[in-house]
Amino acid sequence: MDRDIEVVVKHPVVSELSALFRENEKELYVVGGSVRDAFLGEIHDDFDFATNAKPDDVIKIVKKWSDGMWLVGIEYGTVGLLKGSTKIEITSLRSELYQRASRKPQVKFDSDIQEDLARRDFTINAMAVKLPSGGLIDPFNGKDDLNDKVLRTPLSPQESFSDDPLRMLRAVRFISTLGLKMDVSIKRSLEKNVKLLSVVSTERIRDELSRIIIGDNVIDAMRLMIDTGLSSRVIPELNSLKVEQDPNYHHKDVLEHTFLVIERTEPDIVLRLAALLHDIGKPACKRAMEDRIVFYNHNNVGARLARKRLMALRYPKQTVNDVEKLITMHMRAYNYRMGWTDKAVRKYVRDAGNLLPKLNALIKADCTSLNPNKVKRSLESLNELEKRIQKLEEEEESAKIRSPINGNDIMAFLEIEPGPLVGEALNYLLEAKLDGIISSKDEAYELLKQWNIEREEQK
């Protein structure tokens, strides 16, 4: 038995399940990603199994043993369960027939393990380990493909992608996360079948994009998406970033610049999405000056476009808001070299809020240029800004700056009801706090009194 497989077979959850199914004279196999990841030296807290037991029989076998069960996939033969912290899916061996323009297959539970593996997406996922012996079943040489870092399909790519078009994005994901090289037949099929993505749900597309964007080989994956046309169905704005070089101007290709920025960011979904989309406003803002190309206001335009795209992809509201803010603010720190007061630094920190580390990381990654001196100056300026922020935070915790008195205090002092006037007063006191004019409640009340008198006189 292969040592990597032995680790899986001897896992307590696997061995216990194996014994249960053997007692009931049913076959059980570890399949798919669980086997693939075992060969990669990764053992997760979730396992996929296949069995010749029908779904109702699976439920009877595991009901008392499991700590929880869900049956949302029962129509397709999948029983989900929990054992301790380990997530498990057990799917009855099946054959599937997909109807055109539908992602819901007709399922028949009359398959064997060979047929079951043949319908899987890629050879690296078309491997099974028979329990309890630990024998490897690998009819399509998935282990060799994994070692050779080659992505192939068990059957023809056309059959695979026609069965489930989401597999086209899964192919890109494995390029990004596993660093595989795509078989030429798959790439040709991607180019030919892009339109099939129209029948895939937005949520499934979004989830694959999220996995792609945080992979170690994300740039290879994004190039593949653009080359094959997949990007036009996922993030069409990317296609317009490939800027042709004007003969009179030597500005950089925005797409290549975007790739550089992504490469320089950590694999955080919000940060990577912001890096991917931070310059999508440039095509709309492109202007030719006498000696250069400029993209004035591209950050604000890009932020709006990014919000629209991420909302269309149905990303969580918080993710959309965070990405929008990062893109809106990603040009702001470049003005630091013009000379910022302490108030301006505090306002930058306050506006960035808890996104400050990500914002600074994005801005640093955005410092790309063919002129190394220009990059050096920009990074030195940003490093100086960070040191200054740290100093101010140590002195007065600028990230948590608040007015010494709150809205309830203001309403009680001025004897007013909730409304816009309370907000105006709070903003006035906050600005005074940022300017160092007030630091205590007594000073805040005194200033509020003067402000209210002046306001009444101006009526």
Cross-strand bridge partners of residue 88: 47, 81
The rounded percent of the chain whose pLDDT value lies above 70 is 92
* pLDDT for res 39: 93
CA distance 118 to 130: 16
Orientation of helix 166-178 relative to helix 184-193, angle to 10°:
140
- Please check whether residue 182 is in contact with residue 145, taking contact to mean a CB–CB distance below 8 angstroms: no
The rounded percent of the chain whose pLDDT value lies above 90 is 61
Cross-strand bridge partners of residue 287: 294
Radius of gyration, alpha carbons of the chain: 29
pLDDT band at 288 (very low <50, low <70, confident <90, very high): confident
Cross-strand bridge partners of residue 29: 50, 130
Same domain, 304 and 198: no
58 domain residue, yes or no:
yes
More confident: 337 or 362: 362
More confident: 334 or 19: 19
* pLDDT for res 271: 97
Same domain, 386 and 291: yes
Average pLDDT, the chain: 88
DSSP state of 74: G
pLDDT band at 3 (very low <50, low <70, confident <90, very high): confident
250 domain residue, yes or no:
no
Greatest mean pLDDT among 3-12, 102-111, 182-191 lies in 182-191
Q: Is the preceding omega at residue 132 within 30 degrees of 0, hence cis?
A: yes
Give the pair of three-digit tokens for residue 399.
């990230």
Average pLDDT (320-339) is 89
- Please check whether residue 285 is in contact with residue 298, taking contact to mean a CB–CB distance below 8 angstroms: yes
243 domain residue, yes or no:
no
149-163: pLDDT as tens digits:
999 999 999 999 998
Same domain, 155 and 141: no
Same domain, 364 and 389: yes
Residue 265 CB contacts under 8 Å (≥ 6 apart), including other chains: 271, 272, 275, 361, 362, 365
Assess whether pLDDT exceeds 60 at residue 98.
no
Assess whether pLDDT exceeds 80 at residue 292.
no
* pLDDT for res 265: 95
Same domain, 181 and 69: no
Same domain, 220 and 322: no
Average pLDDT (125-136) is 95
Average pLDDT (426-435) is 85
Stated pTM of the model: 0.80
Q: Which of 93, 112, 145 is the last residue of a domain?
A: 145
Residue 372 CB contacts under 8 Å (≥ 6 apart), including other chains: none
* pLDDT for res 458: 81
416-425: pLDDT as tens digits:
888 889 989 9
Least confident of 238-247, 316-325, 356-365, 419-428: 238-247
* pLDDT for res 391: 83
CATH code: domain of residue 176: 1.10.110.30
DSSP, collapsed to helix, strand or coil, labels residue 147 as helix
Residues in the chain: 459
Assess whether pLDDT exceeds 80 at residue 100.
no
* pLDDT for res 103: 52
Q: Which of 145, 176, 191 is the last residue of a domain?
A: 145
pLDDT band at 302 (very low <50, low <70, confident <90, very high): very high
- Please check whether residue 28 is in contact with residue 47, taking contact to mean a CB–CB distance below 8 angstroms: no
CATH code: domain of residue 58: 3.30.460.10
Per the structure, how many domains does the chain have? 4
pLDDT band at 18 (very low <50, low <70, confident <90, very high): very high
Least confident of 168-182, 355-369, 371-385: 371-385
Same domain, 91 and 10: yes
232-286: pLDDT as tens digits:
999 999 888 876 444 444 456 889 889 999 999 999 999 999 999 999 998 888 8
- Please check whether residue 264 is in contact with residue 258, taking contact to mean a CB–CB distance below 8 angstroms: no
37-92: pLDDT as tens digits:
999 988 777 899 999 999 999 999 999 999 999 998 888 889 999 999 999 999 99
Same domain, 193 and 62: no
Q: Strands 46-51 and 86-92, how do they pair?
A: parallel
- Please check whether residue 226 is in contact with residue 239, taking contact to mean a CB–CB distance below 8 angstroms: yes
247 domain residue, yes or no:
no
Same domain, 121 and 159: no
Range of the domain at 157: 149-234
Least confident of 56-60, 68-72, 115-119, 436-440: 436-440
259 domain residue, yes or no:
no
Same domain, 359 and 408: no
249 domain residue, yes or no:
no
Average pLDDT (324-337) is 89
* pLDDT for res 390: 83
Q: Residue 168 corresponds to which amino acid?
A: M
Same domain, 162 and 271: no
* pLDDT for res 249: 43
88 domain residue, yes or no:
yes
136 domain residue, yes or no:
yes
Assess whether pLDDT exceeds 80 at residue 388.
yes
Burial of 285 (0-12, 13-18, 19+ CB in 10 A): middle
Q: Which of 171, 408, 208 is nearest to 314 (CA)?
A: 208
Same domain, 78 and 110: yes
Assess whether pLDDT exceeds 80 at residue 192.
yes
CA distance 418 to 296: 40
More confident: 100 or 199: 199
DSSP state of 286: -
Q: Residue 118 corresponds to which amino acid?
A: A
Assess whether pLDDT exceeds 50 at residue 148.
yes
